[in-house]
Structure 1
Amino acid sequence: MTALCLAQITSWGLLFYSLPVAVVPVSADTGWSHTTVTAALAAGLLVSAVLGVRVGRLLDVRGPRALMTTGSVIGVLALLLVAWSPNLPMFFAAWLLAGFAQSAVLYPPAFAVITRWYGPWRVGPLTTLTLVGGFASTVFAPLVAFLVEVFGWRGSYLVMAVILALVTIPLHALFLNGPWSDGAPVRATTAATAEIRQVTRSARFRILQITMAVATFTLFAVTINIIPMFLERGMSYEMAALSLGLVGAGQVIGRIGYPQFARATTPRMRTVTVFIAGAAALWVLALLPQPYWLLVAVAILAGGVRGCHTLLQATAVSDRWGTKNFGAINGAFVAPMTAVGAVALVAGPGLAELLGGYPAMAVIMAALLTGAALVAMREPQPRPAPHP
Structure 2
Amino acid sequence: MLRLPLSPAAIVWMLGATQILGYGTVYYSFAILAEPIARSLGLSVSTVFGLFSLSLLVGGVVAPFLGGRMDRHGAPTVMAIGSVAVAGLLAATAWAPGIVGFAIALTALQTAAPAILYDAAFTTLVQAGDTGARRRITHLTLIAGFASTLFWPLTSWLAAHMDWRGVLLVFAALNLVVCAPAHMLIARAPSRTGRAVPLAEPDAPAAPAPAASEAAPLLPEAIAGRVYGLMTLGFALSGFMLSALLAQMVPALTALGLGSAALVVSTLFGPAQVIVRFADMFVAGRRDPLLVTLFAMAMFPLAGVILAATAPSVAGAAVFAVLLGFGSGLKSILQGTLPLALFGRAAYGARLGRMTLARQFLAAAAPFLFAWILERLGATAALLSIAAVGIAGLACFVEIARLRRPDPNAAPPGRP
The answer on whether the counterparts of 2:66 and 2:115 sit within 8 Å (CA) in structure 1 is yes
Residue 233 of structure 1: aligned partner: 256
Q: Does 1:376 align with 2:376?
A: no
Residue 185 of structure 1: aligned partner: 200
Residue 163 of structure 2: aligned partner: 152
CA–CA separation in structure 2 for the residues paired with 1:31 and 1:347? 26
More helix, by proportion: 1
Larger Rg: 1 or 2?
Answer: 2
Percent identity reads 25
The answer on whether the counterparts of 1:74 and 1:100 sit within 8 Å (CA) in structure 2 is no
Q: Does 1:352 align with 2:374?
A: yes
Q: Does 1:282 align with 2:304?
A: yes
**Alpha-carbon distance, 1:290 to partner:** 2.4
Q: Describe the shift of the 1:47–1:386 C-alpha distance in structure 2 as closer, same or farther (beyond 3 A).
A: farther
CA–CA separation in structure 2 for the residues paired with 1:363 and 1:81? 43
**Alpha-carbon distance, 1:345 to partner:** 4.5
**Alpha-carbon distance, 1:319 to partner:** 0.8
Residue 352 of structure 2: aligned partner: 330
Deviates more, 1:115-124 or 1:205-214: 115-124
SS in 1 for 2:312: coil
Query: Structure 2 regions of 5+ residues with no counterpart?
Result: 1-10, 204-216
Q: Describe the shift of the 1:360–1:35 C-alpha distance in structure 2 as closer, same or farther (beyond 3 A).
A: farther
User: Alignment partner for residue 382 of structure 2, among 358, 361, 365?
Assistant: 361
**Alpha-carbon distance, 1:5 to partner:** 1.2
Q: Does 1:387 align with 2:409?
A: no
Residue 63 of structure 2: aligned partner: 52
CA deviations 1:141-197 (Å, max 9, x no partner) are: 111111111112222222222222222111112233345789832339xxxxxx9xx
Amino acid at match of 1:319: A
Residue 269 of structure 2: aligned partner: 247
**How many residues were matched structurally?**
379
Q: Describe the shift of the 1:144–1:286 C-alpha distance in structure 2 as closer, same or farther (beyond 3 A).
A: same
SS in 1 for 2:188: coil
The answer on whether the counterparts of 1:83 and 1:157 sit within 8 Å (CA) in structure 2 is yes
The answer on whether the counterparts of 2:307 and 2:316 sit within 8 Å (CA) in structure 1 is no
Amino acid at match of 1:70: I
CA–CA separation in structure 2 for the residues paired with 1:30 and 1:357? 34
Q: Describe the shift of the 1:110–1:199 C-alpha distance in structure 2 as closer, same or farther (beyond 3 A).
A: farther
Under a length normalisation based on structure 1, what TM-score does the superposition of the two structures give? 0.89
Under a length normalisation based on structure 2, what TM-score does the superposition of the two structures give? 0.83
Q: Does 1:314 align with 2:325?
A: no
The answer on whether the counterparts of 1:199 and 1:205 sit within 8 Å (CA) in structure 2 is no
Amino acid at match of 2:264: L
Residue 167 of structure 1: aligned partner: 178
Q: Does 1:299 align with 2:321?
A: yes
User: Alignment partner for residue 340 of structure 1, among 362, 372, 377?
Assistant: 362
The answer on whether the counterparts of 1:16 and 1:41 sit within 8 Å (CA) in structure 2 is no
Q: Does 1:221 align with 2:236?
A: no
Amino acid at match of 2:153: P
User: Alignment partner for residue 16 of structure 1, among 17, 27, 33?
Assistant: 27
Query: Structure 1 regions of 5+ residues with no counterpart?
Result: 189-194
**Alpha-carbon distance, 1:281 to partner:** 0.6
CA–CA separation in structure 1 for the residues paired with 2:383 and 2:85? 37
Q: Does 1:82 align with 2:93?
A: yes
**Alpha-carbon distance, 1:36 to partner:** 1.3
CA deviations 1:113-141 (Å, max 9, x no partner) are: 11221653112211121111111111111
CA deviations 1:196-254 (Å, max 9, x no partner) are: xx7997111111111111011112211332111112123344x3233332211111112
The answer on whether the counterparts of 1:59 and 1:67 sit within 8 Å (CA) in structure 2 is yes
After TM superposition, list the pairs within 5 Å mapping 1:7-156 onto structure 2.
7-117=18-128, 119-156=130-167
User: Alignment partner for residue 233 of structure 2, among 202, 210, 219?
Assistant: 210
The answer on whether the counterparts of 2:265 and 2:314 sit within 8 Å (CA) in structure 1 is no
**Alpha-carbon distance, 1:265 to partner:** 3.8
Q: Describe the shift of the 1:362–1:71 C-alpha distance in structure 2 as closer, same or farther (beyond 3 A).
A: same
CA–CA separation in structure 2 for the residues paired with 1:357 and 1:71? 43
**Alpha-carbon distance, 1:287 to partner:** 3.5
**Alpha-carbon distance, 1:305 to partner:** 0.9
Q: Describe the shift of the 1:82–1:352 C-alpha distance in structure 2 as closer, same or farther (beyond 3 A).
A: farther
CA–CA separation in structure 1 for the residues paired with 2:126 and 2:334? 13
**Alpha-carbon distance, 1:267 to partner:** 3.6
CA–CA separation in structure 2 for the residues paired with 1:94 and 1:289? 43
